[in-house]
Amino acid sequence: MFLRFSDRWHRLYFDHDIVFWRVDDGGPDAFVATELDATFRPVDLGARLGVQGAALTSITYARLEKGVAAHLRFENGRAVRFKCENDVMSYSA
């Protein structure tokens, strides 16, 4: 998961039952996974979910039975929850 704040990319990692952040100089890129016969393309969820340009006001994390979740709240009242369970990512707004 990539998030951009003040013209700087940050990558949010979900690894089993932990969540961690790293600064990323490049941002998201499309890539081909030949072993899956698939192409992965970045999707602008910020625009789609109405949080683009809104300041991030809080983040909370939760352990799940089989994973972890991160709940992001923004200054415009919108919120996005990212969940990783059994190595499957999902989100809701």
- Write down the number of H helices and E strands in the chain: 1, 9
Instruction: Quickly state the pLDDT bin for 26 (edges 50, 70, 90).
Output: confident
Asked if pLDDT for residue 7 goes beyond 90, the answer is: no
CA-based radius of gyration for the chain: 14
**SS3 of 45, please?**
helix
Percentage of the chain beyond pLDDT 70 is 100
Residue 5 pLDDT grade (very low, low, confident, very high; cuts 50, 70, 90): confident
* pLDDT tens digits, 58-83: 999 999 999 999 999 999 999 999 99
Task: Report how far apart, in Å, the C-alpha atoms of 57 and of each of 32, 41, 67 are.
Answer: 35, 28, 24
